[in-house]
Structure 1
Amino acid sequence: MENQIFHLQYAIDTFYFLVCGALVMWMAAGFSMLEAGLVRSKSTTEILTKNVALFAIACTAYLVVGYDIMYDGGILLKDIALDGAENADAMVAKVLADSAEAGFDGDSVYSNASDFFFQVVFVATAMSIVSGAVAERMKLFAFLIFAVVMTAFIYPMEGSWTWGGKSVFGMFSLGDDFGFSDFAGSGIVHMAGAAAALAGVILLGARKGKYTKDGKINPIPGANLPLATLGTFILWMGWFGFNGGSVLKLGDIGNANSVAMVFLNTNAAAAGGVIAALFVAKILFGKADLTMVLNGALAGLVAITAEPSTPSPMMATIIGAVGGVIVVFSILFFDKIRIDDPVGAISVHGVVGLWGLLAVPLTNDGANFVGQLVGAGVIFAWVFVTSFIVWILIKAIMGIRISEEEEYEGADIGECGMEAYPEFTSAR
């Protein structure tokens, strides 16, 4: 009877991990649609190509190298199945031993393969953040080369210091020494992606015509706001897997209640972000700004990601609303200092990601503001500096920016040789 219960728990927790991973994978579609909607039509094909290719690269690079760096157990180097378990008792013993080795003390039990799948889609999410910030002027293959380094090395290293439980270069532990806490990745995933994006954007420069010599800022509207809105709703939906799966377990009453609360708070924070961004935009611009509203939803989601399990629903709404306010002012600030980010990714994922980390101690007694700041500083410094170095090397070797002519005609023609929205077709 005990083995049957264990088998059921193992099956439920493994299946839950896989379903949540699939939801997070679906966020790749959300990023693609959001970015395609917020750039000009002449760069749409290149945006879509980048998002499909980066997902494939992230999955492969993390499979071969990244997972081993992050958890000392590369999927190609370590048995991930239950080989050698000749009977049910041996299987139970092996799963419990593997779970304890992973630090779960037998409480969370699921297939190692499901754990890898759930982890790898997070890596792809971090890289997707970079895509939107460098849109419309970066060379496709320069971006993809950076994606290899980011997903195989840069992200796994900072992940090993946080979720992997390793010390930072053997000096100190963010979790044990400082109490750093990031439930589902406001810093580890989102701020890391934004730091890599910021390094690239600084070297890349702004799109032609975005800023004038006299200090004027020229808005460059996106080509398809319905598509951007669809992308936002896809991301909103995928975030339930992002945060909900990070509970790591479903197969008992306590964790089932925790999962339900995470889902509730994730949704509440997104709603709070939308409402706050809508009102701030109305106050500042005199009108509702859809792009700010969409970024407000994403800001609310990023803000709650660091700790969606301990706040009350009302507190989660407030945390999301603060994120919605922050993101509007952050986008305006980066424009003012001439950092061109076509989709607001650095503000949504970086600035609001920091807010998410700092909000953790408000509801989680196990965290403190000093520890959160130290963790945020380590993540940002590592990712920004290493990314900056990699971007410089790529720039020196092959260049990172398309030509002025290609930018004028659109990245679609120059990089992909086809248009997403051809105005005319000819047939013979």
Structure 2
Amino acid sequence: MSELGLMNSVWTMLAAVLVILMIGGFILLEAGSTRMKNAGHIAAKTILTFGIASLTFWAVGYGMIFGEGNAFVGLSKFFYSGGIDPSSDLAESVFFVFQLAFAGIAITIAFGGFAERAKLASYVWFAILFSVFIYPVVAHWIWGGGWLSGHGKQDFAGSTVVHLTGAMAALAATMILKPRIGKYNQDGSVNEIEGHNQVYTSLAVLLLWVGWFGFNAGSTVSVDGAFFGYVALNTNLAAAAGAVAAMFVTVVVTGKARVSTILNGALAGLVAITASCAFVAPWAAVLIGGVAGVIVHYSMEFFEKRKIDDPIYALSVHGIAGIWGTLSTGFFATPELAAMNGGLPGLFYGGGFTQLGVQLLGVTASGAYAFVVSYIFLYVIHKGLGGMRVSKGEELQGLDLSEHGSYGYPEVFGGQSQNRRKTS
């Protein structure tokens, strides 16, 4: 392998590690955004389901995305065996690990819609089904040479492939599981169920922000020309603009700088720029992130009023912001960057409505597929495999104890445990 190939492989492997470490950010985000009686469960199921996603990706997911096949799905490279091609400018095994990390993030996003009321078995079943029949299909359409790729769909690092796909699965889950106990009153008014640790959620956003440099800049899979630095610049600007814009809108609307809105604004900016980071100018990255920060505030309110109980706001942060970010290249893609990275320039650069139409087609088809197939799978799990939701008593007690036999915070809950060691 050439020196360039070795450097590309090292850079992409580093990026893969950053993306996998984002799993830790999601653990802190979900745990901090929910009640402490479920914290241990959240941590354990996230690690477990990343393990399941890794095995399924190795067995079939990678081949379904990047294998030889048809416009709908790949049909080769199953049970990936590794190997090194001396003529390649990137080790395929490194590329495999990088892509595996993205699959793990997608299922983690989806499980935000399950929080505080789903059985552990439902996570296991859906992790397998999502990782085989949902994520790889959408990824093949856009990244693996599928039909949307043939239309010139622009999604550099996954606003649609990863974030929208995961969010649509989360939406299906929230609809089937129904709201948590105590979330809504009989008159339809909303009770805010506060997360137990804002320090966790803030640290989570920082970890995710840093990990996103692997997510976006790492998607260059190359050090040639140092283009990854440009992508990182756009990524950071969008995140910053999202946080600041969200702070302003929540102060104007509520009179308070709500912590959760500021944090979700930063994440929405990151999600939005994920599709367009390699296609737009820095000023457009600021605008894209800022708009995402405003949108996420109103989206969170919209879904809450319609009794869509989404504890970590996956639908707003990853779904709505993902749609906006994907469409944004249809407005702001520059001719130079579009020519370099695929697709046509955006509407504001004289490209007309062609690329915007392709982007709209992409989010519509991908979102619809992810939602419909997720809903079918989850409905079958709920009706035919013992149900998805824990009992009322188990939900009130907390999933730490009901699903795992011990609390994540045993001292806080009086040391209660169902799996104490016997002593002689």
Pick aligned residue for 2:148 from 171, 174, 194? 174
Report matched runs for 1:274-353 at 5 Å. 274-353=243-322
The aligned counterpart of 2:185 is 212
Offset from partner CA, 1:240-291 (integer Å, 9 cap, x none)? 00001111211x22xx1x2111111101100000000001110111001000
Deviation at 1:76, TM superposition (A): 5.2
TM-score by length of 2: 0.89
Question: 1:65 touches 1:153 (CA, 8 Å); kept in 2?
Answer: no
For residue 95 of structure 2, what is the amino acid of its counterpart? D
Query: 1:318-353 CA distances to partner (integer Å, 9 max, x unpaired)?
Result: 110100000000000000100001111110000110
Write the distance in 1 (CA, Å) between the matches of 2:313 and 2:254.
17
Residue 106 (structure 2) aligns with = 126
Q: 2:362 aligns with which of 362, 375, 391?
A: 375
Cα gap change, 1:77 to 1:286, in 2 (>3 Å): closer
Whole-Å separation in 2 of the counterparts to 1:346 and 1:181? 21
Which residue does the alignment assign to 1:399? 387
The answer for the alignment partner of 2:196 in structure 1 is 223
CA RMSD of aligned residues (A): 1.6
SS of 1:119's partner is helix
Instruction: Report the residue type matching 1:411 in the other structure.
Output: L
Corresponding residue for 2:175? Answer: 202
SS at match of 2:2: helix
Q: Deviations over 1:398-419 (max 9, x none)?
A: 1000000011111111111111
Q: How many angstroms does 1:174 deviate by? A: 1.6
What is residue 59 of structure 2 aligned with on the other side?
64
Q: CA deviation at 1:70?
A: 1.1
Kept in 1, the 8 Å contact 2:58–2:79? The answer is: no
Equivalent position amino acid for 2:369 in 1: W
Give yes or no for contact 1:38–1:224 (8 Å, CA) kept in 2. yes
- For residue 143 of structure 1, report the CA deviation from its aligned partner: 1.5
Q: Does 1:165 align with 2:145?
A: yes
User: Aligned to 2:196, what secondary structure does the other structure show?
Assistant: coil
SS, match of residue 306 in structure 1 = helix
Look up the equivalent residue of 1:63 and give its one-letter code. W
Corresponding pairs, count: 390
**Which residue pairs with 2:165 in the alignment?**
192
Residue aligning to 1:80: 82
In the alignment, the residues of structure 1 paired with residue 161 and residue 278 of structure 2 have an alpha-carbon distance, to the nearest angstrom, of 17
Equivalent pair of 1:69/1:153 in contact (CA under 8 Å): no
1:11/1:197 CA distance change after superposition, 3 Å: same
**Does the CA-based 8 Å contact 1:50-1:131 persist in structure 2?**
no
The answer to whether the 8 Å contact 2:117/2:399 transfers is: yes
The Cα of 1:203 is off from its aligned counterpart by 0.5
- Note if 1:416 corresponds to 2:416: no
Kindly report which structure 2 residues correspond to 1:106-121, keeping only aligned pairs within 5 A, or say none. Answer: 109-121=89-101
**Cα distance 1:11–1:44, how it changes in 2: closer, same or farther (>3 A)?**
same
SS in 1 for 2:171: helix
Q: CA deviation at 1:153?
A: 2.0
Match of 1:104 in 2: none
The Cα shift of 1:175 comes to 2.6
CA distance in structure 1 between the partners assigned to 2:310 and 2:220 by the alignment: 33
Quick one: distance in 2 between partners of 1:358 and 1:273? Answer: 17
Supply the distance in 2 between the matched residues of 1:123 and 1:425 (Cα, whole angstroms): 37
5+ unaligned residues in a row in structure 1: which ranges? 1-5, 84-90, 96-108, 167-172
Higher relative contact order (CA 8 A, sep 6+): 1
Shift of 1:133: 1.9
Q: Which amino acid counterpart does residue 381 of structure 1 have in structure 2?
A: A
Match of 2:375 among 369, 388, 391: 388
Q: Which residue of 2 aligns with 1:88?
A: none
